[in-house]
Every structure is written in structure tokens, then in C-alpha cells.
Structure 1
Amino acid sequence: MSQAPTEPTASSVAADASDERLIQSQGIGGVLSGFVNRVRGGELGMLPVIVGLIVIAIVFQLNEPTFLSSRNLVSITQFAAPVGVISLGIVLVLLLGEIDLSVGSVSGFAAASMAVLMDSRGWDLLPALLVGILVGTAIGCLYALLYTWIGVPSFVFSLAGLLAFQGALLFVLGDKGTVVLPQDSALRSFAREKFLSDGQAYVLLVVIVVAYVVSNLLTIRRRRAAGLTPPSLPLVLVKAGLLLVGLGYLTYYLGIDRGWSYLPVLFALLVFLVDLALRRTTWGRHVFAVGGNEEAARRSGIRVPAIYVSVFALCSTFAALGGILIAGQLTSVSQSSGTTDTNLTAIAAAVIGGTSLFGGRGSAWSAMLGIVVLQSIQSGLNLMNVDSSVRFIVTGAVLLLAVAIDSVSRKARTSSGRG
């Protein structure tokens, strides 16, 4: 007489799968099913911006066949990186549900401080560069004190900073108006002329893929030890293979022209480190907690003021570093440094990349995806000889669309009980 199959006991089921509200699907089919369910529930992630990039590539390639040429893609990656560094700081601030409107002015002021120290004071690049970055850090700390001690809203003090540091830029430059970096400056060479060799690029590619696999294997081991559902090993290997093929072909294709510039490699490294800090450290979890619900975070014992200090300081530090990299790329600092569309482009990139304006949701990779979208639009319109006024209109429309998608997905998450 056959026995009916027994139900799995609680001890045989992973802790995160014992509750139907937290169940995690297994296998590639289960992952796809889970992805569809998340999209239906408003968890769009980076899907809209990836679809947007594909549409942008198709539209511009059809109208201008050189858009996807190796030379143009190299230019896109190279010129996107400095403003992308600034946008990385904006992502952190937006995760807290705040804003910094002064990153453009701070970037110009920090770059001017560095350039004047080198030009008028005869300082070497390294100490001058360090002072320029520390200027940004100090400004961020000041912002955090205004917010946590006095209670000044971030919109107000950053708007004041936008005006004040634009004036400080003019004061530092004085009658000169423009400071040109020396021809033999290492910063100038790094930002404009340095490219990875083919051998270096492929070695870096292998390191990235190996690091990805090792990281996921450690995650599988830790989750199994904790009695939680581990990621699917076959899926990890499939993703690693796709990563290897995708980055390998991109590296080969960019190598037809000049290859990978040092600038986008530095930018990608910064994005990776910030993403690692946000996802794998206590500080990162606290940032998301404060952005999601500040009062709940405070009651759970999180030092909320310290989180604000660290985030505002990092935001202005990234703004200073981005401004210095822009100066190296343009070979000079002028009265217009950081005062054109740098500010709004950095903010728009973070939002377009998928970081929520409502706080608590986003990723460091949002800065990279968002700035690539904007730089691709600018490059495509320039190739088509479209007036700059159209570029601003298109950028504004894309930003509005991104915010609208964020708002709709937020309502979908609320209605589906995902918050």
C-alpha cells in the first residue's frame, strides 16, 4: 500500500522560503517568473533605462550610421565619466530623499582652487589635487551640520551653495578668469590621453568576471550556512558567461579605435566601490533605512545624523573630484566651470538611471546608466547637427519621463503591498 508524499518539514525549508510572502523561486524558470512578478508589482529596477538605451541606439543609428562606431562610443564613455562621478554623489543624497543643487558650483570651485594653487602658488599636482578634493569634503560637512543641527532643508542650503560657490569660483580666479593647466600635467594626460592597452583591458576583463563569480560563490556559501535560499549556481555561471562575452566584445570593438580610456575605468571602479558599500556594509543598509523611514531608523538605533554627515560629505567630495577631472579633460578652469549644465546633468543622470526621488530606492549603477543615456543623446544630436536648444528640450522630456515612471511604479508597489 503506497503512502502519500509527506510535506516538507519547517527545518527542511530555507528560512526565507518558509513564508509564502518571502518565497524565492529556484532555477532559471523560477527566476524569470519572479522577475515578471516584480515588474508587475512595480519593481522595475533598471529595466526602463536599459530599454531606453536600446531605443536611443536604434533611433540614432538609423539616422546617423556613425553613432555606433567605435570612435563615437569611445568618446561617449570618455566624456560621460567626469559628470558621472558627480552624479554618483547625487545618487547617495537621493537615497536619503534629499537633494544637492550645488554640485556644479562645488565642482567648479574645487577645480579652481586646485588650478590656482598650481599656477599662482607653484604647488605640485598631488597636494593641490588633495586640497581641491578636501574643499568638497568640507563643504559637504558644512551642509550636513546645517541640516542636522539647525534643520535647514537641503533644497535651501544647496541652492544657497549654488550661488555662493559660484561667487567663490569667480573670487578665486580673480582677474585671470581662466587658468590653463600645464602641457605636461599628469592630470591633463590622465583625463585626455591615457588608454588601456589591449593586454591590460583583457586582463582587467578577466579579473572582473572572476571577482563576480567568487563574490557570488561566497554569497551562496553564507546563505546556505545561515539556512537561507542561496542564489542559483547555474544562473550565476550563465550571468558570468554573458558578462564575459558582452564585456569582451565591447572591449574588442572599442579597441578598433583607442580602447578604454582611464577615465571611464576610474568611474566604473568608483561605482563598483560605492555599490559594494551600499549592498554589503552596515553603513549602506543604514543609508537605505534612513531614506526609507527616518523615524523608524532612529528608533532602531541607527545614528541618523552620522549617516547624513557621511552622505553629504561624500556627495560634495565626488562633486569636487568630478570637477577636477573635467578640468583635466578641458585642460583649463574658467569662470564658466561647473556653471553651465553640469549641475542639472548630474542630477538628471541619477534620476534617469533609476534612483527614486522619494528616497530609499536606487543603486550606484544608476549614475553610470543615467549619464550614458544623457551623453548618448547629446552625442547623437550633435552628429545630426541638431541645435543645442533641442538637446535641452529632449533631456528635459527624458527626465520628466523617468520621474513619471518612478511615480507610477511607486503607486504599483503600494497597491501590491511592496511599499
Structure 2
Amino acid sequence: MRERVQRLRTGDLGPLPVILGLVVISVIFQIANGRFLSPQNLSNLSLQIASTGVIALGIVFVLVIGEIDLSAGSVSGITSAAMVVLTINHGWPPVLAIVVAVVFGAAIGLFHGMIFTKLGVPSFVLTLGGLLAWQGGQLLVLGNHGTINIPYDGTIASLANTTLQSWIGYVIAAVYASAAVGRTCLTARWRRERGLAVRPFTGDLVRDGAVTAVILAATVVFSRWHGIPLSLLIFVGLVVAVDVLLRGTTFGRKLFAVGGNAEAARRAGIQVGTVKVIAFTIASSLAAFGGVLAASRLFAVNQASGGSDILLNAIAAAVIGGTSLFGGRGSAYSALLGMLVIGAVSNGMDLLNQTSAVKYVITGAVLVAAVVIDSLARRGRAASGR
């Protein structure tokens, strides 16, 4: 508790502002329209945020190293277009087409990363050019078709339009709780064996208990409609996997080191260029898979796929969730929390029959507030010497 209080005093608020903001947003919209927290609307909300949320998850990797990727939306569009053309026009198996789309996205990210590290082109300019180029490539891939529909009963469509039975949610809650307790005990044992102080379990138990309660509550809510959406489960599964990658692996520590101070990381023996190339590759891979989920939900790919406000929402979600624009700070859960905020605002405004203009204004205001909080936290850490 003392450690957390000290972090708050230095301006490191963590996910607290986002969680409080999400609660306030939910209360306001529920008062304005009683259907906001209904099982049907929450299920629709989960379907709406999954595809863009996966793209935001990839944006986190690039922001952590202090860079930006403006091509994520276009990458999701061209890769999903390639997937549908291969499946519908050329008869490829859907699973193989999905794999090819993700590999195509990885190749694009690798291309961006190599140009960025080898030629020193600023990521803003590089990916802005990529945004235009891959958007043009998408039009070429689609050709004269314009829109290509996906079969309603096919493998691709099932990704975003399948619901699972509620018992799966209870199993996930039980597995998470068991794994959390086991992790806490193993960590304590590891520290004792090495003569290190063992922290009290209270904070970890409270956090893990809260997450378990959220899983159980979500399961109960979704079970009252059609069941647990598969696309939401995929999104949350990717969030957990990325969280393990960022916090529990050597590569994750290198990623944060490069974002915090690239020169210091280089002097410590870290291959800074390689880390940045991998970050761009992962970001584009997740953008491609986000495009697959978007195509699955809409049962089609067209010339507008990956466009509109998808890129802006993905970047805004990562920043609103707590990933720093200055590099060195961020988490996988920031994409989830930020996407929930943006999705809740958009969904609530739709229930209130508000125009897109109002939604853009409110989303922009939330984004600016998140950046202000990040800037203040950065100053607080600098003043405290952290």
C-alpha cells in the first residue's frame, strides 16, 4: 500500500483514471438510457470493440518504443482484402487465407521496420506514406469488385459471430484464480530461496480477486443474452498473451528499455534496431488480424475497410488506456481499457441518437485529457527522480 501511495504522489496513477472514467461514463449513459447496461447492449459493445482493440494492441508496441504507426488502418484493410480475394475468388481454405493475411501484415511491418532502422526515416513520415500506399494497394487487390461478401456460415464469419456457452466463462475464472494464486506463491517461494524480502499478499489477492469477479460478472451478463462472444474472448486472450510478452520476457524488458532511453539501452548491449523492427512487425501483424475480425463482423470487405476513424480510435485507445506517447511506458491492458472507454462513448451516443460530430468531440476531449494526465505523470516522475 505504501508503494502504491508513493506512486500516486509522484503522478503515476496507473489505470485508475481510466477505470474511474469508465465507471462515470457507464453511470451517466445508464441514467440517460436504461438499455446501456443491458446484456444485449453490452454484447453488442463487445463485438464493436474487438477488431479495433486488436489493432490498438499492436499500436502499444510501437508507442512503447517512442514511435508511431499511422499505417495500421490501411494494413488491416489491404490484408483483409487479400484474405477475402484468396478465399472467395480463388477458393483457398479460409484458415490458410487468414494465416496468409497475418503473414502479409508481418511482412509489411518488417518492411517498415527495416526502412526505419536502416535509413533513419522518421516513423511518422514513413507510416504516413504507408497509409497512402497500402490504401492504394487495397483498391488494386479489390479491383472492380468494390465489395466482396463473405458467406454467413463460413469459417471467417464465425470468428466475430459465434457465441460460446456460459460454462466456459466460469472455467476461465477458475483457471485464472488458480493461476494467480499459484503465481503469487511461486514468487514468494523464489524470493525466500534467494534471501529477498517477501511482500504481503494482500495487494495481489485484492487485484486477482477483482479480476476474477469481473470475469464472473461478465459471464453472468453475457449468459443472459446469447452467450460469450468468441471475438471478445479472442481479443482478451491476445491482451493476456501480450501482457505476458511485455512483462514476463526478456524481449519485453528490452522493449521498455529502448523506449525509455535508446542510447542507454544500446550501451547496455541491447540490439536497439532489432527490437524496433520486431515492434513494427508485431504491430502490423496484429493490425492484419484486426482486419480479419472486422471483415468477419461485417461479412464483407470493401474499399472503405480499414479507413474512417479506425486508425484514430486505435491510437486513442492505447493512449487513453495509459500507454505513454513519450515511450517507455504502457501495457497490454491499456488497449483493452482504452477501447472500452471509446466503445462506451460511441455506443452510448448511438443510444441517445447523437450525431457523429458529438461523438468525435467527446472522444477527442477524452484523448486530450489522457495526454494531459500522461504529461503530468511524466513531470511528477522527473521531479521525484524516478
User: Smaller-chain TM-score range?
Assistant: over 0.9
Q: Distance in 2 between matches of 1:75 and 1:358?
A: 34
Q: Distance in 1 between matches of 2:365 and 2:80?
A: 31
Aligned in 2, Cα 1:367/1:197: closer, same or farther, shift over 3 Å? same
Compute the displacement of 1:417 (Å). 1.6
Q: Distance in 2 between matches of 1:78 and 1:228?
A: 45
Q: Which residue of 2 aligns with 1:125?
A: 94
Q: Distance in 2 between matches of 1:76 and 1:62?
A: 18
Aligned in 2, Cα 1:348/1:240: closer, same or farther, shift over 3 Å? closer
Q: Distance in 2 between matches of 1:98 and 1:159?
A: 12
Aligned in 2, Cα 1:36/1:237: closer, same or farther, shift over 3 Å? closer
Q: Distance in 1 between matches of 2:152 and 2:58?
A: 30
Q: Distance in 2 between matches of 1:242 and 1:133?
A: 34
**1:295 alignment partner, one of 263, 269, 280:** 263
Q: Deviations over 1:49-78 (max 9, x none)?
A: 111101101111111111111111111112
Paired letter, 2:174: V
Q: Which residue of 1 aligns with 2:368?
A: 400
Q: Distance in 2 between matches of 1:315 and 1:241?
A: 31
Q: Distance in 1 between matches of 2:370 and 2:80?
A: 31
Q: Which residue of 1 aligns with 2:210?
A: 242
Q: Distance in 2 between matches of 1:261 and 1:362?
A: 27
Compute the displacement of 1:229 (Å). 2.7
Moved more, 397-406 or 214-223: 214-223
Q: Which residue of 1 aligns with 2:187?
A: 219
Compute the displacement of 1:302 (Å). 0.5
Q: Distance in 2 between matches of 1:83 and 1:265?
A: 14
Q: Distance in 2 between matches of 1:91 and 1:273?
A: 13
Moved more, 393-402 or 254-263: 254-263
Instruction: Give runs of aligned pairs for residues 15-26 of structure 1, distance below 5 A.
Output: none
User: What SS does the aligned partner of 1:174 have?
Assistant: helix
Q: Which residue of 2 aligns with 1:370?
A: 338
Q: Which residue of 2 aligns with 1:204?
A: 172
Compute the displacement of 1:227 (Å). 2.7
Q: Distance in 1 between matches of 2:371 and 2:206?
A: 33
Compute the displacement of 1:217 (Å). 1.7
Compute the displacement of 1:284 (Å). 0.5
Q: Which residue of 1 aligns with 2:55?
A: 86
Paired letter, 1:264: L
Q: Which residue of 2 aligns with 1:5?
A: none
Q: Distance in 1 between matches of 2:203 and 2:372?
A: 33
Instruction: Give runs of aligned pairs for residues 87-166 of structure 1, distance below 5 A.
Output: 87-166=56-135
User: What SS does the aligned partner of 2:144 have?
Assistant: coil
Compute the displacement of 1:415 (Å). 1.1
**2:24 alignment partner, one of 49, 52, 55:** 55
Aligned in 2, Cα 1:182/1:398: closer, same or farther, shift over 3 Å? same
Compute the displacement of 1:167 (Å). 0.4
Say yes or no: does 1:73 pair with 2:45.
no
Compute the displacement of 1:235 (Å). 3.8
Quick one: percent identity of the two aligned structures?
47
Q: Distance in 2 between matches of 1:235 and 1:348?
A: 30
Q: Which residue of 1 aligns with 2:246?
A: 278
Q: Distance in 2 between matches of 1:177 and 1:188?
A: 19
**2:273 alignment partner, one of 291, 305, 309:** 305
Say yes or no: does 1:343 pair with 2:300.
no
**2:351 alignment partner, one of 368, 372, 383:** 383
Q: Distance in 2 between matches of 1:243 and 1:87?
A: 21
Q: Distance in 1 between matches of 2:337 and 2:79?
A: 26
Q: Deviations over 1:266-292 (max 9, x none)?
A: 111111111111111110000000000
- C-alpha contact 2:18 2:320 (8 A) present in aligned 1: yes
Q: Distance in 2 between matches of 1:398 and 1:122?
A: 45
Q: Which residue of 2 aligns with 1:25?
A: none
Q: Deviations over 1:229-271 (max 9, x none)?
A: 3332344334433333332122112211123211111111111
Q: Which residue of 2 aligns with 1:228?
A: 196
Q: Distance in 2 between matches of 1:399 and 1:186?
A: 36
**1:356 alignment partner, one of 319, 324, 328:** 324
User: What SS does the aligned partner of 1:175 have?
Assistant: helix
Moved more, 76-85 or 323-332: 76-85
Q: What is the aligned length?
A: 386
- C-alpha contact 2:95 2:155 (8 A) present in aligned 1: no
**2:221 alignment partner, one of 239, 247, 253:** 253
Unaligned runs of 5+ in 2: none
Say yes or no: does 1:189 pair with 2:158.
yes
> Structure 2-normalised TM-score?
0.97
Q: Which residue of 2 aligns with 1:38?
A: 7
- Runs of 4+ more than 6 Å apart: none
Q: Deviations over 1:3-43 (max 9, x none)?
A: xxxxxxxxxxxxxxxxxxxxxxxxxxxx1x33222111011
Q: Which has the larger radius of gyration?
A: 1
